[in-house]
């Protein structure tokens, strides 16, 4: 009985000690050191692809809330402002079936983000990819196209968050 009580008490304490002593900090904590608590976003509409700009705006806003754990504000009320430019969207064939029809595509998204924080401006060049399948001898549907662009944009935003978190980690005393 005494051994069981010791084990029940000691194991959770040991786990608590190990995990509290490892120094893990979430990326959002480091990124907030760079961006602050409030962020405003502005997606510059691409004249070549205006439909995709709306999809990217939604992906960026979602990422700010979910991954940065920051709140979106209007430009005048935010510490950091992000200007997002859609530079290119490419659909490249990846795989063909035995008849030569494309069955898998890769979407390459190229974004440029200009981060302005307290008068300091920094530019990031980001890329995101998304692979998806289609039926042989079919065209890419609008839904598949939007989903691919949204997913590729989210991956590009994830790399932006990683870069900003790394800047915050380096700047931390």
Q: What is the pLDDT of residue 168?
A: 87
Cβ 113 vs Cβ 124: under 8 Å: yes
Name beta bridge partners: 84.
43, 113
State the average pLDDT over residues 146-159.
90
Q: Is the pTM higher than 0.75?
A: yes
CA distances from 151 to 30, 55, 61, 154, 162 (A): 24, 10, 13, 5, 17
Q: How confident is the model at residue 15 (pLDDT cuts 50, 70, 90)?
A: low
pLDDT per position as a tens digit, 93-151: 999 999 999 999 999 999 999 999 988 999 999 999 999 999 888 888 888 988 998 89
Q: What angle do CA 5, 9, 15 make, to 5 degrees?
A: 145
DSSP per-residue string spanning 73-123: --GGG-SEEEEEEEEEEEEEEEEE-TTS-EEEEEEEEEEEEEEEETTEEEE
When pLDDT is averaged across residues 152-166 and rounded to a whole number, the result is 90
Range from 8-12, 29-33, 74-78, 102-106 that averages highest in pLDDT: 102-106
Which position has the higher pLDDT, 122 or 17?
A: 122
16 — pLDDT class (breaks 50, 70, 90): low
CATH number for the segment(s) 27-171: 3.30.160.150
DSSP-derived secondary structure letter, 118: T
With vertex at residue 119, the alpha carbon angle to CA 77 and CA 32, rounded to the nearest 5 degrees, is 65
């Amino acid at each position: 009985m005494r051994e069981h009580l010791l084990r029940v008490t000691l194991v959770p304490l040991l786990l608590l000690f190990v995990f509290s002593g490892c120094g893990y900090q979430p990326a959002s904590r480091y990124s907030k050191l760079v961006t602050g608590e409030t962020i405003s976003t502005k997606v510059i509409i691409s004249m070549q692809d205006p439909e995709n700009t709306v999809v990217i705006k939604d992906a960026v806003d979602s990422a700010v809330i979910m991954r940065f754990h920051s709140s979106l504000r209007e430009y005048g009320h935010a510490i950091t402002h992000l200007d997002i430019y859609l530079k290119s969207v490419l659909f490249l064939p990846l795989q063909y079936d035995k008849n030569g029809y494309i069955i898998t595509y890769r979407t390459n998204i190229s974004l440029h983000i200009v981060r302005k924080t307290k008068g300091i401006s920094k530019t990031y060049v980001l890329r995101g990819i998304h692979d998806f399948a289609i039926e042989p001898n079919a065209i890419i549907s609008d839904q598949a196209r939007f989903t691919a662009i949204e997913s590729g944009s989210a991956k590009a935003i994830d790399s932006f968050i990683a870069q900003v978190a790394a800047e915050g980690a380096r700047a931390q005393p």
